[in-house]
Each structure stands twice: as C-alpha cells, then as structure tokens.
Amino acid sequence: MTVRGIAPPSATVLHEPMTTLMSLTETQDFLDREFPQMQAGGRAYHLEAVGPLTARMRLEAHERFLRPGATVSGPAMMALADYVLYAAILANIGPVALAVTTNLAFNFLRKPASGDLLAECRLLKLGRRLAVGEVAITAVGNPDIVCHATGTYSIPPR
Amino acid sequence: MTVRGIAPPSATVLHEPMTTLMSLTETQDFLDREFPQMQAGGRAYHLEAVGPLTARMRLEAHERFLRPGATVSGPAMMALADYVLYAAILANIGPVALAVTTNLAFNFLRKPASGDLLAECRLLKLGRRLAVGEVAITAVGNPDIVCHATGTYSIPPR
Amino acid sequence: MTVRGIAPPSATVLHEPMTTLMSLTETQDFLDREFPQMQAGGRAYHLEAVGPLTARMRLEAHERFLRPGATVSGPAMMALADYVLYAAILANIGPVALAVTTNLAFNFLRKPASGDLLAECRLLKLGRRLAVGEVAITAVGNPDIVCHATGTYSIPPR
Amino acid sequence: MTVRGIAPPSATVLHEPMTTLMSLTETQDFLDREFPQMQAGGRAYHLEAVGPLTARMRLEAHERFLRPGATVSGPAMMALADYVLYAAILANIGPVALAVTTNLAFNFLRKPASGDLLAECRLLKLGRRLAVGEVAITAVGNPDIVCHATGTYSIPPR
C-alpha cells in the first residue's frame, strides 16, 4: 500500500508567482558553471523543469550510482534531493551562489530499481533568510515514492 | 510566496485500498480509550476524517496551547502531528495499541494565528514493520502550511 | 546495548566562552515571564543548569505527561527538548524573546519509566543567524538515552 | 563559539559490550566486498576504527568531492555519515548485508576546508529491529563539527 507520486503543486498553490526569475536553461547553466563536479564521470543530473516554487530533476542511471542488487545508492538519491532543492530555490530567487544547505532529512521508503530516477521538489517556504522544501523521488515509470526528503537552505542577505 | 494546503492524496494514489480497516468512529473511540490523557484539560483533538492512507485532525484553540502573541505553541503542533499520524496508521491497519513512534521531524514554517489548526496526514509507506507519513498543519481558513512533519512508527509483529 | 548519558561537553570543548550571558536564575525568570503557559497545570519544567553552550532541564513527573504503561508521553519529551534548547540559547546570547524554532528532529529510542526526566542540551553551533543544538533525554537514575533530539533556532537580527 | 569534537563514548558508556563481533579488518573487508562502488574513482573511504557501539572513518580529500571554494561537498559528507553508521552496526552485530537505511537527518554547521574529513559514529540504540546512531564529522586537525547526522538502519530478522 503506497502513495504514488508527489502532490501536483498546481492543485494546492493559490497565490504563487506566475513565473520564475530564471528559466530552465538559465538555471541549468548556472548550476553547470557553479557545480561542474556534480557531473564528474559523465553528465547524469538533468534539470527537466522549473516552475513557481517547483523543480524537477532526473538522475540518469549510471553504474557509479548503483549498489548491490542493481539499486540506486542512498548517497546518489541524497545528492539528487539536495541538488533539485537548490535548483528550485535558484530558479525562484535568481542566481545566489552562496545559498547553503543547513538541514536535510531523508526517509528511505523502498528500494528503487536500477533505471532513471525523478526528483520532484516543491518549496514549502521561500522566506528572506530561509527556504524550505520537500522532495519526492520516484523511479521512472513507477509512481511509488522511493525516497522522501525535506531540506532547508540559508539564503545570504541580498 | 507559499505553497498552500497539502496535496490531495486522491490525485496521486493509484492502487490504494478503497476502504480503511477502522471507521472514523472506531478510530476515535480507540484513541479515546487508549490515550485519554490527550484530552486532559478539555477535549481539543478532534479526528475529522480517515481514509485510505490518510487522516485529518483538528486542534481546537484552547488557551493552554497558546504562546506569546496568541500563536499556537510548537509542542501543541508536534503533539497534533504525532497523533494524526497514529490515527492514520490505526485506521489503516486496525487496532494496534503498541505501535510506537520512532522518529519525528518538523519544519516550522510560519507562526499560526490563534484559531483552530488542521492537520492532514498521508502515509508514504505502510509496511509490515514500519509506517512512514507526512503531515501538513494549517490554520483553519488559511491554506499556508505552518508546520510540516514527517514521522515513522514501528509496528509490532502481528 | 546502549550508550548512556550525553557527552560531558567539558571534555570536548576547547575554546568555548567561560561564562554565559545570563545566569541560571536570570534565564529561568525570563522563561517564566515569556512562557508562563509552559508551567500551566503546575510547575513541571525545572531549569537546573546553564553553562557555556549547554543547559540542563528536568521534567517533573506529573500525571498529565503520562501515557498507557505509565510512560512519559512523546509530546512531553518533545516540549522538554524544545524548551531546554531555547534555554541554552538564551543563556548564551542573552534575552532574545523572538528566537524561533525552525527545525526539530527526534529519535525515540526506548520507553522511559514514569519518573522525572533529565534533558541535557549542548549547542553544536551558535551563529549570528542560526543556533543548532542536540538534546539527550534520560530518566533520572538511568543513563540510557530515551529520546535524542536535534534542533535549530533562527535568531533575529540584533 | 563551537563545540569541538564528538563525545568520547568511553566516558559515557557503562555496560557496553567489551568487544565487537567483527574486527576492523573484517568489517572493512566486508564493506569492500559488498560495496565496491563506494571506492569507485579511487579508494577514499578509510575505516579507521571500530569499537563497542562506535566506528571512525576518514574521507580522503579527492578532487571529486570538492565544491567551489575547495570545500568538501554535502553529498560526500552524507555518504560518509551513512557509511560509517553502517560500519558501526556491522562491526557490532556481524555481517548483515541486508540492513538498510530508513532515515538520515543532517545539520550542516560550517564549511569544511578541503583536507581529509573524520567521521565518528556512536550508536545510541542497537535493538533487534532498529539501530540508531549519531555521527559527527570534523576536518582533520580542527575539532569543530562541520556536519552532524543521525540515522536509523532497519535490521532484517536473523
């Protein structure tokens, strides 16, 4: 018995901004420039969408992320959650390279198969000093949430 | 800029059970019998709905839950989150008095006003040994999430 | 097999401040003035010590905190953890009524017996904007940790 | 103002087992066999010690773990915390390849410099079904905690 997928934010957001401050391409370019190491060993993290208070990122299945039983490793999922949360914040507040993660909490719910993973993020709060979001990770083609995360970024004074 | 409300689970659950094992009344009666202390000082926690992998509980505004500025206290919200999560599990697995909380994590997003609070819970996993859920707490009449929680219960062998 | 007690901070702190900004009495008085509701139903939360980056609080066993089996409730322990963390911060930065909890995470390790509980807090970070601490709760006379918590407070600009 | 280092468990453990079930070499060999991917790109995670309810692991500074400003990345620290926790459990319960992480929570306290990192783990509970531990990560030569983690592993029936 499982809940599938993450909540469609559009159904629950009433007064959100209608657009992001950075486009998908601008956000991805910024990430590539600031964090080239994330793609070391071959590009694997693909930002697929950004929206008002949301972002979606795909982790391409690479051997380097696998664990025994051909399941994607916990650390690969943790990196994915951190990264998509950062992307959601960036897209919505503009390029702030110095935003830093202060807190991340993960529940690992079931083992994913070895294919690509999707991480959907929605921001629960986008304040002046702190941004808080949640991330649901699923395997492509299977709506079961395999990992759920919440995280906080501290935003430097602007 | 805020996300309002919790995701409507019905939109994202594909193969969930169609009914709960205990009805709303049965679940509330069980909670009253097992945890009379929760209502000490006057009934304040009202279970309003149970569904497949979900539950909703209202915390009635009592002076004993207030903090300076007439805001509901953090501990009152933490108790509410723990309680609605337990109710969601009970309703879906039947009366298991010995299920125990093993982990709870809270993000406090904004101060609620002093009125009633609503806690909506959805279970992300309902396994044989562990149940994991998330809870979104809002103030009645305002869809902003004031507190987001995730929690795990350990379920005794049945 | 269990780890008993919390680490004696004195053993691991090298360059901490030698004194607190508020004494034990000043901190307790401030808490009483700002949060009289914590003691509603009879004084139960007793601040016992404050030190550089530390505080200790005792929760007196009152019937209102008990759960079936005469164990202290989870919410009572969560309130205790939040409160001692706040006391540790206050004592070390001075009276800042507007500091707010942004995150709390709990692991419930074993059921406490029905006697008094002790919460020992040490601050892991006391920054300009955020303070982070951990809390270990034990039952008096039994060094087993029954609940472990970590928490973050956001500190307003001074 | 910071707390330095992790608590010396020996000071606070009263009745712990006097030995581990697996030696340091046995534990490292088991990890290498079960999780060769952890060392992909060059051996970097070095298990340095195991003890009753404890373990220590060093993360060797490799370019692949660095982020802008020559700081070690959050994901590298998260992987390190998960790994040392698993090592501590393994050493104390024997080779159980199927133990799985169910929960991890991190507080990132300050940016580490680019040198090696040390992760010290102590288990707060080692139950039949669940093991819970905390991890403090420091940079070699600097006792400040840069990242604090707590985590839970689910242990399969034996």
> Which parts of chain C sit beneath pLDDT 50?
1-15
**How many beta carbons lie within 10 A of that of residue A98, not counting itself?**
12
**B63 contacts in C (CB within 8 Å)?**
37
Residue count (chain C): 158
Question: Which of A66-70, B41-45, D6-10 is predicted least confidently?
Answer: D6-10
**A102 contacts in C (CB within 8 Å)?**
130, 152
What is the torsional sign of CA C134, D15, D50, A67?
negative
* pLDDT attached to residue A97: 67
**A155 contacts in C (CB within 8 Å)?**
none
**What is the distance in angstroms between the CA of the first residue and the CA of the last residue of chain C?**
45
Q: Do C134 and D132 touch (CB under 8 A)?
A: no
* pLDDT attached to residue A16: 53
Q: Which chains touch C (3 or more CB pairs under 8 A)?
A: A, B, D
* pLDDT attached to residue B36: 78
Indicate whether B1 pLDDT > 70.
Answer: no
At B12-30, the pLDDT tens digits run 333 456 789 999 999 999 9
- Distance CA(B107)–CA(C122), nearest Å, equals 20
- Reported ipTM: the value is 0.87
- The answer, for C18 touching chain D at a CB cutoff of 8 Å, is no
Q: Do C154 and A130 touch (CB under 8 A)?
A: yes
- The answer, for A58 touching chain B at a CB cutoff of 8 Å, is no
Q: Do B103 and C102 touch (CB under 8 A)?
A: no
Give the fold, CATH level 3, of A12-32+41-154: Thiol Ester Dehydrase; Chain A (3.10.129)
Q: Do A105 and C105 touch (CB under 8 A)?
A: yes
Q: Do B79 and C82 touch (CB under 8 A)?
A: no
Indicate whether D151 pLDDT > 90.
Answer: yes
- Per the prediction, chain A carries an average pLDDT of 86
Residue of chain A whose Cα is closest to the Cα of D40: A64
pLDDT, mean of residues D105-113: 93
Query: CB-CB: which of D103, D105, D129 is closest to B129?
Result: D129
Query: CB-CB: which of B53, B107, B132 is closest to A132?
Result: B107
pLDDT, mean of residues B122-132: 95
If you ran DSSP here, which 8-state letter would residue B91 be given? H
Contacts with C66 (C-beta within 8 Å, 6 or more apart), sequence order: B37, C72, C73, C114
Q: Do A100 and D82 touch (CB under 8 A)?
A: no
**B154 contacts in D (CB within 8 Å)?**
129-130
- Per the prediction, chain C carries an average pLDDT of 86
* pLDDT attached to residue B72: 86
Are A84 and A118 within 8 A, CB to CB? no
* pLDDT attached to residue B68: 67
Dihedral in degrees, nearest 10, Cα atoms D112, D117, D122, D124: 40
* pLDDT attached to residue D37: 74
- The answer, for D130 touching chain B at a CB cutoff of 8 Å, is yes
The minimum CA-CA distance between B131 and chain C, rounded to whole Å, is: 15
**How many beta carbons lie within 10 A of that of residue C35, not counting itself?**
17
Are D27 and D87 within 8 A, CB to CB? yes
Q: Do D108 and A97 touch (CB under 8 A)?
A: no
* pLDDT attached to residue C98: 76
At B46-96, the pLDDT tens digits run 999 999 999 999 999 877 777 767 788 899 999 999 999 999 999 999 987
Q: Do A66 and D37 touch (CB under 8 A)?
A: yes
* pLDDT attached to residue D6: 45
* pLDDT attached to residue C48: 97
* pLDDT attached to residue A7: 44
- Distance CA(B87)–CA(B84), nearest Å, equals 5
> Distance of alpha carbon B132 from its chain centroid, rounded?
12
Query: CB-CB: which of B4, B8, B125 is closest to A109?
Result: B125
Identify from A130, A132, A158 which residue to disrupt to test chain C contact, counting C C-beta atoms within 10 A and taking the largest count: A130
How would residue D54 be classed by pLDDT, with cut points 50, 70 and 90?
Answer: very high
The minimum CA-CA distance between A52 and chain B, rounded to whole Å, is: 9
Query: CB-CB: which of D15, D17, D148 is closest to C124?
Result: D148
Query: CB-CB: which of B40, B67, B97 is closest to C37?
Result: B67
**C125 contacts in D (CB within 8 Å)?**
2, 107, 109-110, 145
The minimum CA-CA distance between C54 and chain B, rounded to whole Å, is: 21
* pLDDT attached to residue B6: 45
Going from the first residue of chain A to its last (158 residues), give the mean pLDDT of each consecutive group of 10, the final group possibly shorter.
Answer: 40 56 95 81 90 97 74 91 96 86 97 91 95 97 95 89
